[in-house]
Amino acid sequence: MADTVPTIRIPERDIPVYAEADVVVAGGGPAGVGAALAAARNGASVLLIEQRGYLGGMATVSQVPAFCPYTDHIKPVIRGIGLEILNDMKSRMENAFQDEWRERLDWVPIDAEILKRLLDEKMADAGVKVLYHTFVGHVLQQDGAIEAAVIHNKTGTQAVKANIYIDATSDADLTYLAGGRFAIGGDEGELQPGTMCFVLNNLDRNKFLSSSEIHGRDLKHAINKAKSEGRLRVARDWAGISWLNDHTAGFNFGHIFGIDGSNADDLTRGAIEGRALVEHITGWLRETIPGFENAFLTLTGEQIGIRETRRIVGDYIITADDFLKCRSFPDDIARNAYFIDIHMAKPTSGMTMVHLPPGESHGIPYRALLPVGIKNVIVAGRAISTDRATQGSTRVMPNCFAMGEAAGTAAAILAERSSRETRSIDVAALQRRLVRQGAWLGDAINEGYRDL
């Protein structure tokens, strides 16, 4: 017989309503940022709730060192708010960085501190009400719609109310609390591993590059040698290194397995094991890699970086076949050209990578953002409705900006007529507005709406 979990009953009580808005956005990562800015710029009143003390999601919380590609190797696919933020961040970087990256849109290194301030300022300029150090712990529902979200923070327990809720929590927490349907991981529940990203200072980039033929620019040769000698405990023979200047770099290096980012015990283990692995890796780098002899560990992520948790079951599930055939949809609200990138679930597993040809992309339909059975929630970010293979492609931060912008724009359009029915949206009106805002939905849609 399965063990029963002890329970207690919380007494019924009245809680204050903290705020009412046209749109409540839960989560301040790229999807939440795009959603909040788009909704506010389109005239809606917006409350953005974020559990940390800053915005940016994995880029700032977990120190992911670079943005994945914005282009299909020929042209930018992610435009609008996402491209605006990328270019504005670059404009605040050191002159040498700007010289190196001014015309480049793929794998641009992230300065987390610049990004934090930039996003604070953009929210203020757009009139978004931001509430930090707060998370949603419960929802109140009636007739398939969320009536209020219950929030928790140092002030206590309060409620927020909106016509439309945008779930940008990455793990679809709001939809989960509302009883939405989900898939998670692979057929056996396996999940991509987490990574504790980190920043090193006091490096010598020129010395490192001068010997890169020996160790590899991604350290592949050095890693394989060290693994064979038993000196390095990592599963994959690759390190993502993103140079902010000649002396500072961010690292996406190493995996922690069996981490479910929607489980607090797993996140705790990921934090502890992740920091221990970073310490081990940093010691190896100092001992082995030219230019890293005096490496100083400046920072590890506040949270281990998470690649995969829940995926909603939406009105449409984007499939690998859609990806491979570069399918477009009549209700496209964004496009994706990033490759399928599924990291091994176990140390002995392999990587899965499937690339599209240069210049090709597939559409992301609005229906994939709508959780089945819930009327007034739009999901944006890596938890949208896809199969597992496609989630390995759509999950990355540039895509999340684009999906968030679409969700926020849709919410604002609905707010204009006081509608809570996400499925009642005029898709043509949504696409037209996205195109006017600078989004790219494919040449056919963009050319059709450009002059309207």
- Residue 4: per-residue pLDDT: 87
User: Can you tell me which residue has the tokens 């030219």?
Assistant: 290
Decide if pLDDT at 188 tops 50. Answer: yes
Q: How many CA atoms lie within 13 A of 54 on its CB side?
A: 18
State mean pLDDT over 371-389: 98
- Looking at the DSSP bridge assignments, the partners of residue 362 are 336
Residue 422 per-residue DSSP state: G
- Residue 452: per-residue pLDDT: 58
Burial class of residue 339 in the structure, from the number of CB atoms within 10 Å of its CB (0-12 exposed, 13-18 middle, 19+ buried): middle
Q: Where are the beta strands (DSSP E) in 64-202?
A: 129-131, 135-142, 145-153, 156-167, 182-184, 198-201
The token pair that represents 11 in the structure block:
């007494």
| Residues 295-309 pLDDT 10s | 999 999 999 999 999
315 vs 8, 169, 236, 298, 374, CA distance in Å?
36, 19, 36, 44, 10
339 vs 291, 321, 355, 379, 388, CA distance in Å?
32, 13, 5, 22, 13
Report residue 236's pLDDT band, with 50, 70 and 90 as the boundaries.
very high
- Residue 28: per-residue pLDDT: 98
State mean pLDDT over 419-423: 98
| Residues 196-225 pLDDT 10s | 999 999 999 999 999 999 999 999 999 999
| Residues 149-163 pLDDT 10s | 999 999 999 999 999
User: Can you tell me which residue has the tokens 């000698």?
Assistant: 229
- Cα angle for residues 346, 351, 353 (degrees, 5° grid): 150
Report residue 1's pLDDT band, with 50, 70 and 90 as the boundaries.
very low
List phi, psi (to 5°) of 273.
-70, -35
What are the percentages of helix, strand and coil residues in the chain, rounded to 5? 35, 25, 45
148 vs 47, 138, 140, 156, 314, CA distance in Å?
13, 9, 5, 16, 22
Report residue 451's pLDDT band, with 50, 70 and 90 as the boundaries.
low
Decide if pLDDT at 2 tops 80. Answer: no
Residue 418 per-residue DSSP state: T
CA distance 50 to 53: 7
Neighbours of 358 (CB within 10 A): 11
Strand 156-167 relative to strand 240-245, pairing: unpaired
Residues 6+ apart with CB under 8 A from 98: 90, 91
Is the Cβ–Cβ distance between 408 and 35 less than 8 Å? Answer: yes
**Mean pLDDT lowest among 16-25, 171-180, 181-190:** 181-190
112, 344, 343, 351: which is closest to 250 by C-alpha?
112
Neighbours of 424 (CB within 10 A): 11
What is the average pLDDT value for the chain, to the nearest integer? 97
CA distance 128 to 290: 47
Is the Cβ–Cβ distance between 51 and 134 less than 8 Å? Answer: yes
| Residues 63-92 pLDDT 10s | 999 999 999 999 999 999 999 999 999 999
413, 393, 303: which is closest to 39 by C-alpha?
413
| Residues 101-117 pLDDT 10s | 999 999 999 999 999 99
pTM, entire model? 0.97
Residue 211 per-residue DSSP state: T
State mean pLDDT over 413-439: 98
CA distance 275 to 197: 9
Report residue 351's pLDDT band, with 50, 70 and 90 as the boundaries.
confident
Decide if pLDDT at 3 tops 90. Answer: no
- Residue 348: per-residue pLDDT: 83
